[in-house]
Amino acid sequence: MEPIKKEDLSQEVFDMYDYYVHGKMSRREFMDGLSAFAVGGLTVAAIMAFLLPNYAEAKRFSLDDDRLASEYIEYDSPKGAGKMKALLSKPADRKGKLPGIVVVHENRGLNPYIEDTAHQAALDGFIALAPDALTPFGGYPGNDDEGRTLQAKRDRNEMLEDFIAAVGVLQNHPECNGKVGVVGFCFGGWISNMMAVRVPDLKAAVPFYGGQPSAEEAKTVQAPIQLHFAELDTRVNEGWPAWEAALKANNKTYEVHFYPGVNHGFHNHSTPRYDKTAADLAWGRTIAFFRKHLG
C-alpha cells in the first residue's frame, strides 16, 4: 500500500483525532469513527498509525547537542506538585545574561516534541525551561496515550502553580537577565494565558491554540500576549471572540494571528497535522515577540 499522505484524509478524520486526544471521544468511539474512512485499501490501523506522533523520525535535538548546554533539573513547587522535573536548555556559546522562556507542553507531559521546542528556543538565544507536569508519576511515560491518562489525574490549577513556579526559577537563574516569558501549546496555551493573568511580572505570553480565561480575569493581565490559532480548529477558536472582547475592554496589549487551512497542533512537527509554512511563520513571530519584550 502507498504511504498515507494527509491530503488523503478527510478533515473529519482530523477533527475526530482532535476530539480523541482531548478526551472528548473514547478510543473505541474514535476507532469506530475511523472505520467509515477505511476504504480504497486504507485500514483503521493504518490511519491510526499515521495520525499518531512519530518522535523517532521527528526528533531534532539530543541532550548532548554541542550547540547547547542542556540538563534536567528539579525545582520546588510548593503550591503544586512539591517537586518538579524540567529540561533546562541554553546556548553553549552564551555571552552575558539571557532572557528566559518557560515552555509548556500539551496535555500529555514533556514529550520529545516539546523538548525540541525548548532546545530551539535556546538556539534562538534564550534560557528555556520546560517542566514536566507528570513529575509526580515519574515523568513522561514514553507515549502520549499514557501521558494523557496520567495528566488527566492531576488538578489543572495545581499544574498551573507548577509552571508559575518555573518563572521564579528562571528569574533567579544566574545566567538569566530576570526577564521571563512563556510559550505553550494546547493545554500549554491555556497555561500561558493563565500565567498572563496570574503573574504580574511576566514579560510576555505566547499561547498556541490555547483555551481562554474568563472575561473577568482579563483585568489582571499585565504581560503583552501574542496568540496563534489554526483556522480549522473550531473547538478552541470559538472562545476567542469573548477573550478578545475582554482584552479590548481592559485596554490590554495583544496581537493575534490565524493560520489558514491548518489544524490544531500545526506547530507539532511529529504528527501529520504539522504544517511547516505555518509553523515556521508562527515561531518566527514568537521569537521576534520575545526579543522585543524580554530584551
And the C-alpha cell for 133?
A: 507536569
Record the cell numbers describing residue 116, joined without a space: 525540541
**CA angle, residues 22, 204, 170, in degrees to nearest 5:** 90
Confidence grade of residue 1 (pLDDT, cut at 50, 70, 90): low
What is the rounded CA–CA span in Å between residue 139 and residue 162?
14
What number of residues does the chain have?
295
C-alpha 266/C-alpha 18 separation (Å) is: 12
Q: Collapsing DSSP states into helix, strand and coil, what is residue 195?
A: helix
- Under 8 Å between Cβ of 210 and 265: no
**pLDDT single digits (tens) 20-79:** 999 899 999 999 999 999 887 789 999 998 999 999 999 999 999 999 999 999 999 999
Regarding pTM above 0.85, the answer is yes
Residue 274 region, left (φ>0) first, then alpha (ψ -120 to 50), else beta? beta
